[in-house]
Amino acid sequence: MRSSQDVRPGPIGPTGPSDLDAAASTALHPAARETLLAALDHGWADPRRLHKQARDARLLLDNAREVVAAELGLRRDDVTFTSSGTDAVHRGLLGLRLARSRVGRHALASAVEHSAVLHALEWAAATDGGSHDLVAVDRHARVDPDAVREALSPTTAVVAVQAANHEVGTLQPVTAVAEAIGDVPLFVDACAAVGHVDLPAGWAAAAASAHKWGGPAGVGLLLLRPGTRWRSPFPADDRVDPRSSGFENVPAALAAAAALRAVGTERAEVAARQRRLIDRVRGVAAGIEDVDVVGDPDERLPHLVTFSCLYLDGEALVTALDRRGFGVASGSACTASTLEPSHVLAAMGALTHGNVRLSLHRDTDEETVEAFCRALPEVVAELRR
């Protein structure tokens, strides 16, 4: 038996173990880390109180909302900080639905929405007897605005279409969907998109998640357009912002805002580099026999790619690549801990097993990607043998 001193990681890439799973979470952006440490000394108080420390915290919270609003082209009052992206999804989607309960309790969603959306609709239907339908997508995971319009019913209270798919990166025609559905409010899960691409137009409510762009985990954004009818689907709380509940994490909110501003200034350069590197991975993967690269090759997030390998198990691929020093994902991005088959890939008509999802961090370099490209064909061949 080896002692603890003898334990070593497996083979690694040229720069050490490489996390290529930024779609799950990214490391703190340096701007977020610096802001977080400074804000811990000044933003610890309850911003709802009236004493000086509380007023300081309230100013920091308002400043964070101002920064986020400026980066997304919104007003400060449109921005609410929540406890996570999932919480923001639930509040935004269910709040739109509840506000139109007199119209009906029917909802529509694309078949490739994140599980946070699907679970929220299932919960709502079980709670009040409503219903929801899923609109099919094409082989790139893109929904057709005309198909959404045709699926509307007189009792449809809300439509949910994501900004970009969290598993394959395909950008959705959000603005066209909004035009197609008319007065029915559109909820947009933008968790995978914010920080990487522009927030599309046409939504009534949207959600985002700070750990996707280099902010701290545990910070989400609920975005509401002015004049949007929305009612809280959860018990009320007498906080600073009535659209949220619980004690605001002011230092984390400020750090999230700082990270969003920082990635905004560098986004064009980072996105161009990431797109070039992902194109390299797509080309290598497509050159391997019986490997299918999925998602739109052009209209997509710049940092993400998914491909499926026939005759292989996703868990085996993840494990083998991890031994080579590359941390990637497989299965559904919603339930990756259990490696359940992806409902996104199933809806696209793609192979649901043997898939690998690779997503780049802002500082993932060319050397790391080239090392992955050398390792991938070898790993696939070894496992197939």
Residue positions annotated with a catalytic role: 334
In DSSP notation, 82-95 reads: ES-HHHHHHHHHHH
Closest to 95 in 3D by CA, of 75, 80, 110, 113 = 80
Q: CA 128, 230, 158, 67: dihedral to nearest 10 degrees?
A: -130
Q: What is the side-by-side strand order in the sheet with 304-309?
A: 291-294, 304-309, 355-359
Q: CA 34, 207, 233, 129: dihedral to nearest 10 degrees?
A: -150
Closest to 292 in 3D by CA, of 312, 270, 308, 269 = 308
Q: Are 39 and 227 spatial neighbours (Cβ–Cβ below 8 Å)?
A: no
Q: How far apart are CA 167 and CA 110, in angstroms?
A: 14
CA–CA–CA angle 147, 178, 145 (5° rounding): 20
Q: Are 196 and 190 spatial neighbours (Cβ–Cβ below 8 Å)?
A: no
Closest to 169 in 3D by CA, of 306, 49, 70 = 306
Q: How far apart are CA 340 and CA 134, in angstroms?
A: 20
Token digits for 240? 């600073």
Q: Are 117 and 99 spatial neighbours (Cβ–Cβ below 8 Å)?
A: no
In sequence order, the β-bridge partners of residue 106 are: 131, 156
Number of H helices, E strands in the chain: 10, 12
Q: How far apart are CA 200 and CA 229, in angstroms?
A: 20
In sequence order, the β-bridge partners of residue 77 are: none
